[in-house]
Amino acid sequence: MIQEIKIPRILISGTGSGTGKTTFTIALTKALQAKGLKVSVFKCGPDYLDPTYHSFITGKTCQNLDGWLMGKESVISSFVSASQGSGISIIEGVMGLFDGHSPNSEAGSTAEIAKWLQIPTIVLIDASGMAATFSAIASGIKNHDPNIPIQGFIANFLGSKSHLSIIETASIPLPVLGGFPKSYEHSFPERHLGLHSAGPDILTEEKLSFWKNLCEEWLDLEKLQEIANSAPPILSEASTEIQIVEKDCKIGIAYDEAFHFYYEENFKKLRENGAELVFFSPLKDTKLPEVDGLYFGGGYPELFADSLAKNKNLIEEIRNFANSEKPIYAECGGLMYLSSEIQNIEGQSFPMVGLIPGKSIMGSQLKSLGYVEVHTEKRTILGEAGIRFRGHQFRYSDLVLDNEDDLIFSYHIRKRKSEQTTREGYTVSNVLASYVHAHWASNPEIPKNFIASCKRFKV
């Protein structure tokens, strides 16, 4: 049944990557929490790293909202479900407001999410070195698509309070709700995949207090809350009640510093279809949990290759698990771990599990980035041949196979931008590994099929 659901909400967008969206979202979240509000935070696009920051701060999993990967119904359903119990929901955009998978389409863009969720939108503009030009940029953004509910602008990377005053007095089509000065010493460090994964060593109390205090001093928080509260009710069929599902399958999830790139929606769909998720650490645990299947997500196995290689007991357990023909599914970093060895950027090699016959070699250049569509060529643990689903790749490594036997490939992958098609989806017995981070909202049959595969070999 369709119902109207009132959710105070606001979207934080920008003119492009690097405009400070993540830092601003963190600051706003901390400032609103200090006012006693429970905050839910979401991230537009396929990114894994920014959500770790929001999850750390809120203590609640930050959901990805991606129009191209998920579709409208799944975006609305995920947003409504994950917003329950919160006083306000904040969505951080991806790239610039209008940037999606194509320059001629809004699919996969922040603008698409803004329209679907009818969410009041704030746009960050890099104001460094400009005054009146800020107004020209703001006007262009406001007039580009009148259907996006833009409610104001934030001037970022300011030189001083005087700089903010100059911009505020310029002829701007919507209010400037404040801004942030440059503060490189309080920025968050980055590495090859983007930001470092969140943790107490990165999100220190000193840094978080700094950004919270800056937010309280430089922003019109009351106006921002007023804008969020002005959002209209969302029409949704999503249930706000907790569904009780009998668990008749256990799936082990590799989750630690080396493996933590997962879409929460994938976990949700596994649970909704009767799977109990059991988390374990390939870095620290010497034994596998008692489970019917294994799921290795992405992450940074190359940074922990030495420690992973030294955990020989767990490696042997995983090999025995595979030999028993129980299903193992792996993505990106998980693929690297299941390969024969990982060669890091310095050229050092470390032996891995060895279920996929090939070497994972890290490079200094980006090997693949972007959306992909997958078409299975043969039956796998995810279902029969001919299944289609969508995903994303972001990697600096290549897999060099020992022998490119056609039998090992089970996917055709089509890159969304170039339309280039490649073969992938490495299959050995009931092991399936790929560089694709699959989003199962693109095909809800995938988690059902994976669970069915696990049940077939349940002891």
User: Could you tell me if 370 and 108 are in contact, meaning their C-beta atoms sit under 8 angstroms apart?
Assistant: no
For residue 137, pLDDT beyond 90:
yes
For residue 458, pLDDT beyond 80:
no
Query: Which architecture, in CATH terms, is 3-236?
Result: 3-Layer(aba) Sandwich (3.40)
For residue 75, pLDDT beyond 90:
yes
User: Could you tell me if 256 and 265 are in contact, meaning their C-beta atoms sit under 8 angstroms apart?
Assistant: no
Give CA–CA dist 334/356, Å, rounded: 11
For residue 240, pLDDT beyond 70:
no
What is the reported pLDDT for 286? 97
Q: Catalytic: 332?
A: yes
Q: Distance of alpha carbon 42 from its chain centroid, rounded?
A: 9
- Domain 3-236 and domain 249-456 have a common topology: yes
Q: Distance of alpha carbon 78 from its chain centroid, rounded?
A: 13
The pTM of this model reads: 0.90
Secondary structure in 3-state letters for 204-236: CHHHHHHHHHHHHHHECHHHHHHHHHCCCCEEE
- pLDDT tens figures, 168-219: 888 788 899 999 998 766 566 554 444 555 567 677 888 899 999 999 999 9
What is the reported pLDDT for 192? 44
User: Where would I find the beta strands (DSSP E) of 308-430?
Assistant: 328-331, 339-343, 349-351, 356-362, 368-376, 388-395, 397-401, 409-415, 421-428
What is the reported pLDDT for 269? 95
Tell me the average pLDDT across 234-254. 78
Segment among 38-47, 214-223, 363-372, 436-445 with least mean pLDDT: 363-372
Which residues fall within 8 angstroms of residue 366, CB to CB, at 6 or more apart? Answer: 394, 395, 396
What is the reported pLDDT for 232? 96
Start-end of H helices in 121-220: 132-144, 161-168, 205-218
- pLDDT tens figures, 423-437: 999 999 999 999 999
Beta-sheet pairing, 356-362 with 397-401: antiparallel
What is the reported pLDDT for 194? 46
Query: Taking Cα atoms as reference points, which of 265, 268, 291, 263 lies closest to residue 279?
Result: 291
Give CA–CA dist 308/113, Å, rounded: 39
Beta-sheet pairing, 339-343 with 356-362: parallel
Q: The tokens of 278 are what?
A: 């059991």
Tell me the average pLDDT across 206-233. 94
Give CA–CA dist 178/187, Å, rounded: 19
Sketch the domain layout of the chain as residue ranges.
3-236, 249-456
- Per-chain mean pLDDT for the chain: 91
Q: Mean pLDDT: which of 71-80, 95-104, 194-203 is highest?
A: 71-80
- pLDDT tens figures, 368-411: 888 999 999 999 999 999 999 999 999 999 999 988 776 799 99
CB atoms < 10 A from the CB of 164, how many?
19
Cβ-defined contacts of 168-176 (< 8 Å, 24+): 170/131, 170/132, 170/134, 170/135, 171/135, 172/134, 172/135, 172/138, 172/139, 173/135, 173/138, 173/139, 173/142, 173/143, 174/138, 174/142, 174/150, 175/220, 175/223, 176/152
Q: The tokens of 73 are what?
A: 């119904």
Secondary structure in 3-state letters for 248-288: CEEEEEECCCCEEECCHHHHHHHHHCCEEEEEECCCCCCCC
- pLDDT tens figures, 258-280: 999 999 999 999 999 999 999 99
Query: 44, 62, 215, 332: which one is catalytic?
Result: 332
Which fold would CATH assign to domain 249-456?
A: Rossmann fold (3.40.50)
Give CA–CA dist 347/310, Å, rounded: 18
Q: What is the DSSP letter of 5?
A: E
